[in-house]
Structure 1
Amino acid sequence: MSVYEKTFTVRWADMDPNVHMRHSAYTDYAAQVRLDFLADQGFTMRRFAELRIGPILFREDTRFLKEIGISETIRVTAELGGLSADGSRWRIIHTIYKADGRMAATVSVDGAWLDLSLRKLTVPPAEMVEAFQHATRHETYADIVREKKE
């Protein structure tokens, strides 16, 4: 599978007083690409509602490398950075590129699945785990190994 990516044109609403893309817009674009990836695998918002589960984040780390200005075209990728054996925990690494191919930022997120009825972490359905297992792996991919609680 090739790297999952989407292209966007940066909007006026994404700018800050320094006339470059505001810090939170980077994570907004990354989140959109994650949701698009899931939807393209059959896991739309409607499907999540049917399954009564949803993705949650534990950590979000953004590294800013180059400025992005208004009306620039950016390309945002999503690659699997890690996955637990049961698919309950995951890491996705997004890279945001300027139109000339230079890396502008990376956004790395660690997440899990929330049972929306019980409000507790859960293991996703097998077809969701399979979709993640077939995603392109980032060069830093490492299995997520959870320690057993005593």
Structure 2
Amino acid sequence: MTTPYEKTYTVRWADMDPNGHMRHSAYTDYAAQLRIEYLAAQGFSLQRFAQLGIGPILFREDTRFLKEMHISEPLRVNGELAGLNEDGSRWRIVHTLFKADGRPAATVTVDGAWLDLRARKLMVPPAEITDIMRNLPRHESYADIVREPKV
């Protein structure tokens, strides 16, 4: 089994809410940061996406909160592929956010696709992007995404 792509961050003051723990939207911010860093590490920086006129978009984002995170705590975030369709145009990624002791703090699951930024329409990405997505380690829940034909 391949090790998930992961990074460790430190929970910042700006991530906090009035209750003294990490605000709900910060979890999804860290998941998004991980996705952008993964793509950039594979040669698809935000600048390259802009040059190609392509961008990732989300259809669904589901966060499950499991343990509190507090200021200055290390936060390890990983990303695993949970679904991909045949042409690479649709994908699902599960992120797990871990406390320093290894306990999961949250999971963030996103369903996404690729957008042609000029035409403002969904698109099939270049094969290189599909290969990058296929190279993400697979989550235990992985299932191919099968799109129903349009009637």
Report the equivalent of 1:12: 13
The one-character-per-residue Cα deviations of 1:71-100 (angstroms, maximum 9, x if unpaired) are: 000100000010000000000100000000
Report the equivalent of 2:118: 117
- Structure 2: stretches of 5+ with no match in the other structure: none
The one-character-per-residue Cα deviations of 1:92-148 (angstroms, maximum 9, x if unpaired) are: 100000000000000000000000010000000000001111110000000000000
Letter in 2 for 1:123: V
- Structure 1: stretches of 5+ with no match in the other structure: none
Q: Return the TM-score normalized by structure 1.
A: 0.99
Alpha-carbon shift at residue 2 of structure 1 (Å) = 2.4
Q: Return the TM-score normalized by structure 2.
A: 0.98
Report the equivalent of 2:104: 103
The one-character-per-residue Cα deviations of 1:60-80 (angstroms, maximum 9, x if unpaired) are: 000000000010001000000
Across the aligned residues of Structure 1 and Structure 2, the Cα RMSD in angstroms comes to: 0.6
Report the equivalent of 1:73: 74
Report the equivalent of 1:90: 91
**CA–CA distance in structure 1, aligned partners of residues 135 and 75 of structure 2:** 25
**CA–CA distance in structure 1, aligned partners of residues 77 and 6 of structure 2:** 5
Letter in 1 for 2:53: R
Report the equivalent of 1:62: 63
* Secondary structure class of the residue paired with 1:70: coil
How many equivalent pairs are there? 150
